[in-house]
A and B are shown apart, each in its own frame.
Chain A
Amino acid sequence: MAERVVVTGLGIVSALGAGVDATFRSLINGESGVGDVVHLDTAHDEFPVGEVAMSNQEMAQLLGVGYPSDGLRTVLLGIMAAREAVASAGLTADDVGRSAFISGTTVGGMDNTERHFSDAYDSGAESGSSPELAYNDCGCSTRLIAEATGDFLMMTTTSTACSSAANAIILGANMIKAGVVDIAVVGGSEALTRFHLNGFNTLMILDRERCRPFDRDRTGINLGEGAAYIVLESERSAKSRGADVLAALTGYANSCDAFHQTASSENGEGAYLAMCKAMDMAGLTPGDIDYVNAHGTGTPNNDATELAAMRRIWNDSLPCFSSTKAFTGHTTSASGSIEAVICVLSLIHDFMPENIGWVNPIAEGAVPVTGAAARRRVRNVINNSFGFGGNDSTLIFSK
């Protein structure tokens, strides 16, 4: 019988604040972190973003890290969240030494690269130009985050756009079930960059107002940034350490929509398969799901196709669902783990965050959680993360 995989630690930083407590308070109080851009140096100040309310210098000072990490925002955010997760799980140095670290990112050091690119590129290789381009790749960020957190047994980096962190969580769980490790610190980190802010703008899917997921009049995404890690552990290991078990990761799946690089198929095939397979693994029926934390980006395409996929499973009896992206912005590669933390909080505190900004339904009866955070018993939660390229992943957390 495969090991049961449980969650023993959480760490998070986003536009909602630094840490699990700040995040929970913002969610309960309906306080969105989406607003004007402050720290990213961009000409596009017309787009609201979910920015972390700290400069790089502030974070570097708080964390006590120097060069090169102090100029790499994805790394700084990651260290903040990873340290909190490790501490909250009560992992000793020995525990970390036998743990895996798996982190998801797509931008990596691009925030730093784009600041130095023109100078370095134009002056060419022979002039002894700036070393900054060497910190661009994804693996570099993961190494720096991990090494500032502890001495891990092994590490790697997932990079599947908006489902990166969810896929990091899936690999960690598979490793624990196979007995390769007992503990895995898993999640993702992504900082805002001009590269992807402008990239999303070329696709014309950014909203100039705060996003309205699942609303009839939604027009697009607010980008966000942040990092979150959860500590996954075999139940046996958690018991022998006397660790607090916050939730269980009872099911998960990764399916590809295989339709288009940036759009999802009309019937949400990848999303449908991911949710079904995850429920199969968890041994749950659709009726057992109390809450779906939807991917819900606010684009006309995603929300319609995600809803279509949900209809295929639940017909007219949709469970409570909401997107928290109007709270945090779309945190891209980190969204899978940021929203995993939100799902675990949902289980711990028996609440479901509201889908803020929602006014009109897309389709008859498709009403997300509105008004205020719904307080009721939550036993099983689905967390959806659907990335570009149809990389669709679903995680199920249970009490």
Chain B
Amino acid sequence: MAERCFVDSLAQISCQKPLCDEWFDTPCFYTDRYVRSVEPDVKGIISASEARRMSRILKRAVCTSVSALRASSVDMPDAVITGTGAGCMENSEKFLVDLGRFGEQCLKPTLFMQSTHNTISSLIAIMMKCHGYNNTYSHKGISFDSALFDAWLQIRSGMIGNALVGSHDEVTPFMELVMRRTHPDCRFVTEASVSAVLTRSRGENTVCEVEDVKLLHKPDISALADLFEEDRDRVLMLGVNGSESNDAPYMSLLDGLRYRPLVLRYRNLFGDCFSASALGFYASCRILERESVPAFMHLPGAEHVSAGPESVTLVNHSDGIDWSIVRLKRVASCGG
């Protein structure tokens, strides 16, 4: 893979103030278990006639996509690749409720049409008239990571020059039911919408470099330790969230390392959902760009990371079963 891959721009909508980085200095902290996103003002991004058919997840996805593109050097991406763990749940749920209420008649086409997972990615392409590669990944907590992997692979292989990559998930009554059953000890469940423009070439506004993206299924924890030997001088950004079942695999990994790494976290700030790792990616990129680490991202009792890490390795797992490892590097130290 002869080419390199850089992050050109990013945008986020989450439980923190949207489409900006105020969270870095003045974060919001929540005590509720289920927290919806702070909705941005969509004027100037989505017209009223476009907005009427869009559920909230679609509006957020369009918002972050348009914002990321506007901040980038790319006019028309070669690819639009999206991750979503649960898809457009609000529409799916309404359709299911109607199925129960009306039986198999008098059902609304818009709900069905906008319920398929690829609605997000294709809507973005339709709005931009983008005929490039378009794909959607839906694999639980590594949905974003899968979309990132596809974009990174194609850019590094020279198949495309740039890509709009995003991941989006929402909280609905259905999702609350699911989370209570599957992750009963998860105390902070939120929504996420992140979009990033990746490019082959480095530019004036380049945020950081994406050196490596790996996806693994049930990796042997001791074999993982071997994999992390090369991360000795890197900061590890972990998906820990304070719940035992989620954090235990991360702790096993740390215990297995042959060194004591510097570690950071982001889910205390951004919460959990299938697309949470996208917010970890977002936060890591900003840390590298600003050469600074917010105090509240340190793990309690852990050694503090010096200002301006050279590199960050994001480690994410979904149920301890599917893992992703993403290596990011500060641009100043990229050379060439």
Which residues of A approach B to under 8 Å, CB–CB?
Answer: 42-44, 101, 106, 108, 113-114, 117-118, 120-121, 124-125, 129, 131, 133-134, 136-140, 142-143, 146, 151-161, 167, 171, 174-175, 177-180, 194-196, 198-203, 254-262, 269-270, 273, 387-391
Contacts and interface: CB of A to CB of B under 8 A. Distances in A.
B181 A133 contact: yes
A159 B136 contact: yes
B119 A114 contact: no
A254 B131 CA distance: 9
B217 A154 contact: yes
Contact of B137 (A124, A140, A154, A156): A156
Interface in B143-196: 143, 146, 149-150, 153-154, 156-157, 159, 173-174, 176-178, 180-182
B191 to A, nearest CB: 16
Contacts of B99: 114, 117, 194-195, 198
Nearest to B134: A256
Contacts of A139: 85, 138-140, 142-143, 318, 322
Nearest to A259: B126
B1 interface: yes
Q: Which of B128, B131, B142 has the most CB of A within 10 A?
A: B131
B123 A389 contact: yes
A196 B134 CA distance: 22
A146 B208 CA distance: 35
Contact of A153 (B118, B178, B217): B217
Contacts of B119: 261, 389
A113 B99 CA distance: 12
Contact of A388 (B122, B131, B133, B139): B122
Given A121-B177, A174-B154, A154 B215 contact: yes
Contacts of B137: 156-159
B178 A158 contact: no
B41 to A, nearest CB: 25
B109 A203 contact: yes
A151 B123 CA distance: 36
B117 A159 contact: yes
B113 A203 contact: yes
Contacts of B136: 158-160, 391
Interface in B89-118: 92, 95-97, 99-100, 103-104, 107-109, 112-118
Contacts of A156: 137, 139, 142, 146, 149, 215, 322
B43 interface: no
Given A121-B97, A199-B115, A258-B122, 4 more contacts: A138-B117, A158-B137, A202-B108, A391-B136
A137 B140 contact: yes
Contact of B118 (A117, A160, A258): A160
Contacts of A270: 131
A344 to B, nearest CB: 23
Interface string B291-325: 00000000000000000000000000010011000
A113 B100 CA distance: 12
B215 A199 contact: no
Interface string B26-62: 0000000000000000000000000000000000000
B38 to A, nearest CB: 24
Interface of B: 1, 80, 84-87, 92, 95-97, 99-100, 103-104, 107-109, 112-119, 121-123, 125-126, 128-140, 142-143, 146, 149-150, 153-154, 156-157, 159, 173-174, 176-178, 180-182, 214-218, 274, 318, 321-322
Contacts of B128: 258
Contacts of A254: 133-135
A157 B95 contact: no
Given A113-B96, A121-B173, A157-B138, A256 B104 contact: no
Contact of B130 (A120, A195, A256): A256
Contacts of B84: 159
A195 B182 contact: no
B86 to A, nearest CB: 5
A255 B117 contact: no
Contact of B107 (A120, A151, A199, A256): A199
Given A136-B178, A157-B138, A178-B1, A261 B117 contact: no
B117 A258 contact: no
B276 to A, nearest CB: 14
Contacts of B80: 256
Nearest to B142: A156
A270 B117 CA distance: 19
Nearest to B218: A151
B107 A198 contact: yes
A158 B82 CA distance: 10
A108 B178 CA distance: 15
Contacts of B135: 158, 160, 167, 171, 254, 391
Nearest to A123: B177
A94 to B, nearest CB: 14
B118 A138 contact: no
A106 B117 contact: yes
Given A113-B96, A134-B181, A134-B182, A160 B146 contact: no
A44 B103 CA distance: 11
A387 B217 CA distance: 28
Contacts of B116: 106, 159, 161, 388-389
A258 B125 contact: yes
Contact of B131 (A151, A152, A255): A255
Which 8 A-B pairs give the minimum distances between C-beta atoms? A389-B122, A199-B112, A139-B140, A139-B139, A256-B134, A202-B109, A159-B117, A138-B138
B62 to A, nearest CB: 14
Contacts of B176: 125
A159 B104 contact: no
A114 B121 CA distance: 25
